[in-house]
Chains A and B, each alone.
Chain A
């Protein structure tokens, strides 16, 4: 019996959300008096995989089959199932990401496991039950869920765990093969198109986000958002009306029907705070709202607010960040 964590890599690097997953998995292993092994997917380097030791991982399994560089639901599921089998893993931890949930849901059926997604805390195991806390109702509530299956799969919400810093610890990296067949690649991509990331920071992974709404008046003013984001090391985002009129691309849209983010800091500039927008950002730790309308509903959900003109306020904030650094 052990804990298996699924680590997503991109361009050789372990994704931040996967560091959080590894941290979660090794802490669960410690609670249960066992060890945590990782299985890595995507394009990884041995040095980066070995550094998962800092997250309390003892061993990393990696299949360097080039067909696994990009996400394939069928093949990833088979690979992780085989790793779980080899390691006699009773608990599998993965990211609550597009990849993690797509694979986790298939795995749960294949391994007859209980599955909880959107999990925000370490489990409680008092009284012989295994209980996790997860987000529900689009950030408006939490639920405690008992995972009653012998095997359990947990998808950890981004930014809900701190990575560990066990400096100097390294994991051993082992070549692993799941004997994949052509049929496992039925959903293999014909083409992969990556977006230009402002400042190289991926919105779903970002721990700081600067977001603009219709109050920005036009795409030509987005440099004000980008300047502040750059100074803070934040990703940029926008509201639905902004992506609907093509001021910004769809993949920057956060809200009910866009991306859900839960950064440590969310700065909303010229966004009124419609409930559909809040549903995508309400689990952010600190929300700052800048709006010239003091009645904007977003102020009710905010921790800090500035009633003022974004064109006046944003340059001041950027300047203040630069002075601080």
Chain B
């Protein structure tokens, strides 16, 4: 079984977001980048399935050379080899084309990724890759099991879940509680250094969206405190002042 896991390089959850003076890009100064938390579910589940059934896990990232520490981290967690597409991940369609191109070359059985990235919050790449390759997408999945050539998945829908069976190659976007994401151990970190990391150049058509400006949300006024003794006053404020009830 050949697994392709797509990972995104994103600012750590605790990052205070600021932008470059022209507001066109994230200000990366002092920002710690991590593997997108949703992608960790995809990576760990692929490794678990490989350990059970045999096979190979390849990680793929679309990014410039500065993403390599996180690609090595994915190798340390247990992926076998890696591909870096040497380009800025400008938009979802651009990234999806890179993944689809790599998937065509590699003959993967299952393409996994997180349900969205915590920076762009696109929720787009999985569907685009599935469509580019002409294979089903199951998104977002809370559970993924394999038996022979058939995968059984739980897909979350608003208010419930669907049990879906898919055979043949497919794309899946992952979320909790699929597995408990792993962290690298010392042996993993040592072996990751020598695992193959191939760098390829991008391909495909130009992006179809362009970010012109980033902005921060308006600042909150500050909290209005109501004494616990007169808690009921809060309800009056919510009706008369905030007008939300």
User: Are the C-beta atoms of B159 and A197 separated by less than 8 Å?
Assistant: yes
- Could you tell me the distance between the alpha carbons of A306 and B136 in the complex, rounded to whole angstroms? 49
Q: A105-B92, A135-B121 are in contact. List 9 more A-B contacts (CB 8 A).
A: A101-B124, A109-B127, A137-B17, A141-B216, A144-B211, A189-B163, A193-B163, A208-B245, A313-B228
Contact of B223 among A103, A110, A258, A299 (CB under 8 A): A299
User: Are the C-beta atoms of A143 and B214 separated by less than 8 Å?
Assistant: yes
- B160 → A minimal CB distance (Å): 4
User: Are the C-beta atoms of A303 and B221 separated by less than 8 Å?
Assistant: yes
- List, in ascending order, chain B residues with CB within 8 A of A293's CB: none
- Main secondary structure on A side of the interface with B: mixed
Contact of B158 among A202, A265, A304, A312 (CB under 8 A): A202
User: Are the C-beta atoms of B140 and A98 separated by less than 8 Å?
Assistant: yes
Please report the total number of B residues contacting A with Cβ < 8 Å: 77
Q: Does A307 contact B (CB under 8 A)?
A: yes
Contact of A73 among B11, B123, B136, B221 (CB under 8 A): B136
- Could you tell me the distance between the alpha carbons of A273 and B226 in the complex, rounded to whole angstroms? 19
User: Are the C-beta atoms of B162 and A71 separated by less than 8 Å?
Assistant: yes
- Could you tell me the distance between the alpha carbons of A93 and B186 in the complex, rounded to whole angstroms? 49
- List, in ascending order, chain B residues with CB within 8 A of A101's CB: 123-124, 127, 139
- List, in ascending order, chain A residues with CB within 8 A of B29's CB: none
- A279 → B minimal CB distance (Å): 7
- B209 → A minimal CB distance (Å): 5
Q: Does B52 contact A (CB under 8 A)?
A: no
- Could you tell me the distance between the alpha carbons of A257 and B156 in the complex, rounded to whole angstroms? 13
- List, in ascending order, chain A residues with CB within 8 A of B128's CB: 105-106, 108-109
- List, in ascending order, chain A residues with CB within 8 A of B227's CB: 306
The interface-forming segment of B55-63, B77-85, B189-197, B236-244 is B236-244
A/B pair count, beta carbons within 8 Å: 261
Which of under 10, 10 to 19, 20 to 34, or 35 or more describes the interface residues of A?
35 or more
- Could you tell me the distance between the alpha carbons of A238 and B194 in the complex, rounded to whole angstroms? 43
- Could you tell me the distance between the alpha carbons of A147 and B207 in the complex, rounded to whole angstroms? 10
Nearest residue, chain B, Cβ from A109: B131
What sequence of 0s and 1s flags, for each residue 203-228 of chain B, a beta carbon within 8 Å of any chain A beta carbon?
Answer: 00000111111111100110111111
- B217 → A minimal CB distance (Å): 7
User: Are the C-beta atoms of B161 and A106 separated by less than 8 Å?
Assistant: no
Q: Does B179 contact A (CB under 8 A)?
A: no
> 4 shortest A-B CB distances, which residue pairs?
A105-B127, A308-B228, A320-B232, A189-B162
User: Are the C-beta atoms of A202 and B137 separated by less than 8 Å?
Assistant: no
Contact of B93 among A104, A110, A115, A312 (CB under 8 A): A115
User: Are the C-beta atoms of A71 and B224 separated by less than 8 Å?
Assistant: no
- Could you tell me the distance between the alpha carbons of A306 and B208 in the complex, rounded to whole angstroms? 47
Q: Does B32 contact A (CB under 8 A)?
A: no
Q: A144-B213, A145-B209, A304-B242 are in contact. Are A194 and B159 (CB under 8 A)?
A: yes
- Could you tell me the distance between the alpha carbons of A251 and B212 in the complex, rounded to whole angstroms? 35
What sequence of 0s and 1s flags, for each residue 113-156 of chain B, a beta carbon within 8 Å of any chain A beta carbon?
Answer: 00000111111111110111000111110100000000000011
User: Are the C-beta atoms of A189 and B159 separated by less than 8 Å?
Assistant: no
User: Are the C-beta atoms of B214 and A188 separated by less than 8 Å?
Assistant: no
